């Protein structure tokens, strides 16, 4: 097993001296540490890109909402829509928002807002 760079978020650090490695140029197969000449395969960066691009829904809701606002802005924030029956009008689509409670063992609360009549209700997880 070759030693690979340490990954922190989307950044790679040299496993020998801890120096931040710069991303490879288009045709480069390796990234070379400026401090100790360690060589990291450029494929390590490809893996990072695939992971962050193909699983946007796997991220916590705070991150996900940030991504959604890049494509569509509606009253400052965009909430995901889910199939949930509105207790007020019976409409089958509602906007979904998850609120994390202050203490971890209190879990989280789901806030729904009816897509039709804007009635709001909450469900504790």
Binding site for Zn ion (CB under 5 A): 14, 16-17, 19, 33, 35-36, 38, 86, 88-89, 91, 114, 116-117, 119
User: Which SS3 state, helix, strand or coil, does residue 6 take?
Assistant: strand
Q: Determine if residue 89 is labeled as part of a ligand binding site.
A: yes
Q: Is 97 annotated as a binding residue?
A: no
| Closer of 73 and 88 to Zn ion (Cβ) | 88
Measured in degrees and rounded to the nearest 5, phi and psi for residue 40 equal -105, 130
CB 79 within 8 A of CB 66: no
Q: How far is the CB of 31 from Zn ion (least distance, A)?
A: 10
Minimum CB separation of residue 87 from Zn ion in Å reads: 8
Count of CB atoms within 10 A of residue 14's CB? Answer: 22
User: Phi and psi (nearest 5°) for 20?
Assistant: -65, 125
Minimum Å gap between C-beta 13 and Zn ion is: 8
Kind and range of the H or E element at 28? none
The annotation places the binding site at 14, 17, 33, 36, 86, 89, 114, 117
């Amino acid at each position: 097993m070759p030693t690979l760079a340490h990954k922190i978020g989307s950044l790679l650090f040299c496993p020998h001296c801890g120096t931040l490695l710069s991303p490879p140029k288009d045709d480069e197969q390796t990234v070379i540490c400026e401090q100790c000449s360690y060589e990291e395969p450029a494929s390590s960066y490809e893996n990072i890109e695939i992971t962050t691009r193909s699983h946007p829904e796997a991220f916590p809701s705070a991150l996900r909402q940030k991504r959604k606002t890049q494509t569509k802005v509606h009253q400052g924030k965009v909430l995901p829509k889910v199939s949930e029956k509105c207790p007020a009008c019976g409409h089958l689509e509602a906007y979904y928002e998850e609120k994390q409670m202050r203490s971890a063992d209190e879990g989280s609360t789901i806030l729904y807002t009816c897509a039709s009549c804007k009635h709001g209700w909450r469900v504790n997880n």
